[in-house]
Amino acid sequence: MLDREQVLHVARLARLDLSDEEVERMAIELSKVLDHIDKIRELDLEGVPPTSHVIDVVNALRADEPEPSLPREVILAAAPEPLHDGFGVPSPGAA
Protein backbone atom coordinates (compact mmCIF):
# COMPACT_ATOMS: atom_id res chain seq x y z
CA MET A 1 0.00 0.00 0.00
CA LEU A 2 2.68 2.47 0.95
CA ASP A 3 5.75 2.27 -1.20
CA ARG A 4 9.21 3.49 -0.44
CA GLU A 5 8.72 6.77 -2.28
CA GLN A 6 5.63 7.59 -0.32
CA VAL A 7 7.34 6.77 2.95
CA LEU A 8 10.25 9.04 2.06
CA HIS A 9 7.86 11.81 1.08
CA VAL A 10 5.95 11.62 4.35
CA ALA A 11 9.19 11.37 6.33
CA ARG A 12 10.37 14.55 4.63
CA LEU A 13 7.14 16.35 5.54
CA ALA A 14 7.55 15.18 9.13
CA ARG A 15 11.26 15.98 9.28
CA LEU A 16 12.28 12.46 10.24
CA ASP A 17 15.64 11.23 8.96
CA LEU A 18 14.74 7.56 8.72
CA SER A 19 17.43 5.01 8.04
CA ASP A 20 16.99 2.68 5.09
CA GLU A 21 16.01 -0.06 7.47
CA GLU A 22 13.45 2.19 9.12
CA VAL A 23 12.00 3.17 5.76
CA GLU A 24 11.57 -0.46 4.79
CA ARG A 25 10.02 -1.42 8.08
CA MET A 26 7.79 1.62 8.11
CA ALA A 27 6.41 0.78 4.68
CA ILE A 28 5.38 -2.67 5.86
CA GLU A 29 4.03 -1.64 9.26
CA LEU A 30 2.12 1.38 8.04
CA SER A 31 0.66 -0.57 5.15
CA LYS A 32 -0.60 -3.17 7.55
CA VAL A 33 -2.22 -0.57 9.76
CA LEU A 34 -3.70 1.29 6.82
CA ASP A 35 -5.13 -1.91 5.41
CA HIS A 36 -7.02 -2.39 8.61
CA ILE A 37 -8.07 1.24 8.86
CA ASP A 38 -9.18 1.33 5.26
CA LYS A 39 -12.43 -0.38 6.17
CA ILE A 40 -13.92 2.86 7.43
CA ARG A 41 -13.92 4.16 3.91
CA GLU A 42 -16.62 1.64 3.11
CA LEU A 43 -19.06 3.24 5.52
CA ASP A 44 -21.84 5.36 4.15
CA LEU A 45 -21.18 8.70 5.80
CA GLU A 46 -23.07 10.85 3.34
CA GLY A 47 -24.24 14.02 5.00
CA VAL A 48 -22.58 13.28 8.32
CA PRO A 49 -20.89 16.36 9.76
CA PRO A 50 -17.32 15.85 10.97
CA THR A 51 -16.69 16.30 14.68
CA SER A 52 -13.97 18.88 14.99
CA HIS A 53 -14.78 19.59 18.61
CA VAL A 54 -16.21 17.12 21.10
CA ILE A 55 -17.48 19.65 23.57
CA ASP A 56 -20.29 22.06 22.93
CA VAL A 57 -18.47 25.24 23.75
CA VAL A 58 -17.93 28.34 21.65
CA ASN A 59 -16.22 31.68 22.20
CA ALA A 60 -13.73 30.74 24.90
CA LEU A 61 -12.19 34.21 24.71
CA ARG A 62 -9.71 36.02 26.88
CA ALA A 63 -9.71 39.69 27.85
CA ASP A 64 -6.90 41.69 26.26
CA GLU A 65 -5.06 42.03 29.58
CA PRO A 66 -1.29 41.60 29.89
CA GLU A 67 0.12 38.76 31.96
CA PRO A 68 3.68 38.34 33.15
CA SER A 69 6.10 36.95 30.60
CA LEU A 70 8.85 34.47 31.42
CA PRO A 71 12.24 35.93 32.35
CA ARG A 72 14.66 35.61 29.48
CA GLU A 73 17.31 33.76 31.54
CA VAL A 74 14.79 31.08 32.31
CA ILE A 75 13.84 30.39 28.73
CA LEU A 76 17.38 30.59 27.41
CA ALA A 77 18.56 28.17 30.09
CA ALA A 78 16.82 25.41 28.15
CA ALA A 79 18.18 26.53 24.76
CA PRO A 80 20.50 24.14 22.95
CA GLU A 81 22.33 27.14 21.48
CA PRO A 82 21.79 30.47 23.21
CA LEU A 83 22.95 33.16 20.80
CA HIS A 84 22.63 36.94 21.01
CA ASP A 85 19.91 36.80 23.65
CA GLY A 86 18.03 34.39 21.45
CA PHE A 87 17.88 30.86 20.14
CA GLY A 88 20.67 29.99 17.71
CA VAL A 89 19.96 27.81 14.69
CA PRO A 90 21.65 26.93 11.41
CA SER A 91 20.66 29.56 8.86
CA PRO A 92 17.83 28.40 6.61
CA GLY A 93 19.02 28.34 3.05
CA ALA A 94 22.66 27.98 4.05
CA ALA A 95 24.29 25.20 2.07
Partner 1 sequence: MSELIELTAAAAAERIRAREIAPAELFEAYRARAAGNDLNAYTWVAEAPPADDGYAQAPLGGVPVAVKDLFCTEGVPSQSGSKILEGYRPPYTATVVGKLAQAGAPLLGKTNQDEFAMGSSNENSGFGPVLNPWDRSRVPGGSSGGSAAAVAAGLAPWALGTDTGGSIRQPAALCGIVGLKPTYGACSRHGMIAFASSLDQAGPLTRDVTDAALILRHTIGRDRHDSTSLEFPGEIALPQAEDLKGIRLGVPEELTGAAGGIEPGVRESFESTLALAERLGATVEPCRLPHAPHALSAYYLIAPAEASANLARFDGVRYGLRVDGDADLITMYSRTRDAGFGPEVKRRIMLGTYALSSGYYDAYYGTAQKVRTKIAEDFDNAFERFDFIVTPTSPCTAFELGSKIDDPLAMYLNDFLAVPMSLAGIAAISIPSGLSEGLPVGFQLAGPAFSESRLLDAAYALERAIGFDGSEARR
Partner 2 sequence: MSSEKVEYEPVIGLEIHVQLSTRTKMFCGCRLSFNDPPNVHTCPTCLGLPGALPVVNARAVHFGIMIGLALGCEIAERSLFHRKNYFYPDLPKGYQISQYDVPLCRGGRLGDVRIHRVHLEEDAAKLNHLGTSGRIHGSDRSWVDFNRGGTPLVEIVTEPDLRSPEQAREWPSLLRTTLRQLGVSDVNMEEGSLRVDANVSVRPAGATELGTKTELKNMNSFRFLERGVRAEIIRQIALLEQGEPVLQETLHYDPASDSLTPLRSKEEAHDYRYFPEPDLVPVVATEEMVAAARADLPAELPAERAARYENELGLNADTARLFAFRTELGDYFERALAAAGGNGDKRQIDPVELSNWIPQLVERIGSDSDPASSNVAPESLATLATMVKAKEVSRDAAREVLTRLVEEGGDPRAIIEREGLGALTADDDGLGELVDRAIAADPAAAEQVRSGNMKAIGPLVGYVMRETKGRADGGEITRLIRERLGL
User: Where do contacts with partner 2 occur on this chain (CB under 8 A)?
Assistant: 9, 12-13, 15, 52-53, 55, 57-67, 69-70, 72, 75-76, 83-94
Decide whether 53 or 84 has the Cβ nearer to partner 1.
53
Instruction: Say how far apart CA 7 and CA 74 lie, in whole Å.
Output: 39
82's CB contacts (< 8 A; 6+ apart) are 76, 88
Q: Which residues pair with 24 in a beta bridge?
A: none
How many residues are present in the chain?
A: 95
Q: Mask: binding to partner 1, 46-75, rule CB under 8 A, as x and -?
A: --xxxxxxxx-x--x-x-------x---xx
Decide whether 66 or 90 has the Cβ nearer to partner 1.
90
H or E element that contains 75: helix 72-77
Cα–Cα separations (whole angstroms), residue 35 to 25, 44, 77:
15, 18, 46
Binding site for partner 1 (CB under 8 A): 2, 6-7, 10-11, 13-19, 22, 26, 29-30, 32-34, 36-41, 43, 45, 48-55, 57, 60, 62, 70, 74-75, 78-81, 87, 89-92, 94-95
